[in-house]
Amino acid sequence: MVVFILVSTFVILFVLGVPIAFSLGLSTLATMLFTMDFTPAVTTIAQRMAGGINSFALLAIPLFILSGLLMAQGGIARRVIDFSKAVIGSLPGGLAFVNVVSCMLFGAISGSAVAATSAIGGFMIPEMNKAGYDKNFNAAITATSATTGMLIPPSNILIVYAVASGGVSIAALFVAGYLPGILVGLSLMGVAAVYAKRHNFPAGERVPFNVLVRCTVAAIPSLFLIVLVIGGILAGIFTATEAGAIAVLYALALSMFVYRQLSLADLRQILLKSAQTTAIVMFLIGTSMAMSWLLAYENIPTIVANTLINLSDNPFVILLLINLVLLSVGIFMDMTPAVLIFTPIFLPVAVELGMSPLHFGIMMVLNLCIGLCTPPVGSILFVGCAIAKTSISQIVRPMIPMYVAMFLALLVVTYVPELSEFLPRFFGLMD
């Protein structure tokens, strides 16, 4: 009965267009009112929301949001694109490859799929349009490639998962995301290669060696941020949260004093947007944690775990079912609440099957990355369509092979744990 009230209330609010954070909070409140009075229900929700965001690890999120916004407007995207174009732009369909690699690099620097879509797409989509690429394909490859920034660190959603899982190391998650993120990028490049061959796109012009050197030197300060953040964490110089502050200072210095494409006047709008985005994310986390507590209070995770295990004794089947459920959830729900709500439900099942919490986290985030670029909720789709001046209905068709490529990558990550665990073990971050 509790699950029915919770789910039905949430679905009704969602269909009515109520923002997801309010839908989560109100559906939780409505469900709790069936078992307790109004005052204790409201008090409990307030306590759980406050407790949910009272985490030192979550302090990294506003810092990485701010650093991502600074990078998006500070000239870093342009240097990354020039570098990618100099290295692989001469291949057949090279602009599509440049788009994918640029999104991967910028996502690794900024940790934001939306920032990568906006910054890289703002440059690459018009340029691909001029070269004769279909604008719908251009928007599709940008949106799907931008999701790699959720896997390749620094990634805000991996921090959220670390909090939701109750103990997985953020540093281990950051390192674990590299190989799966690269795998997704290579899968999308394979789709782009087939597209280029079918449409007979010629190879781009090979850049002179001196141009390659110049582009590489110009991009080094931007790419060094990856070394600075991850290297500092692995060396034990600072924590993941402190790395966020380092990223802000470095991005600010790089944008204002090295590239000189950011002025003091620009900071006001960037800080305001950063505060707005942080408020939205933190409110989402608070209401999601309240719902997660309610699910745990009603013993829902145990019920789901027992049900799944009783369905089949084959781990491959159960993991496939979990993936299918998460894929369905990702179509309608943003990544942050999905991670916070479904981690306590499915993580015990995964652990029971012998999967490490770290491996499950990478699988879950990759799964929800697919939902990040699927209608009707996929936020990066709206950004990509706005830049390409097209509609979501028009880019769905060229995205189908990209969805297939990402799903195949998901299956590889799901059933090959070493892909996620090799690097953390190599650096001594997990047993």
What pTM value is reported for the model? 0.88
3-state SS, residue 146: helix
What is the residue whose two structure tokens read 């490490």? 356
Q: What is the mean pLDDT of residues 322-326?
A: 93
| Helices marked H in 147-263 | 156-165, 170-176, 178-198, 209-234, 240-253
Tens digit of pLDDT for each residue in 341-395? Answer: 899 889 989 998 899 999 999 999 999 999 888 877 677 888 888 888 888 888 8
pLDDT reported for residue 332: 80
Q: What is the mean pLDDT of residues 221-231?
A: 86
pLDDT band with cut points at 50, 70 and 90 for residue 175: very high
Name the phi and psi angles at 59, rounded to 5: -65, -25
> Residue 283's beta-bridge partner residues?
none
pLDDT over 80 (residue 170) = yes
Task: Classify residue 35 by burial, with Cβ atoms within 10 Å: 0-12, 13-18, 19+.
Answer: middle
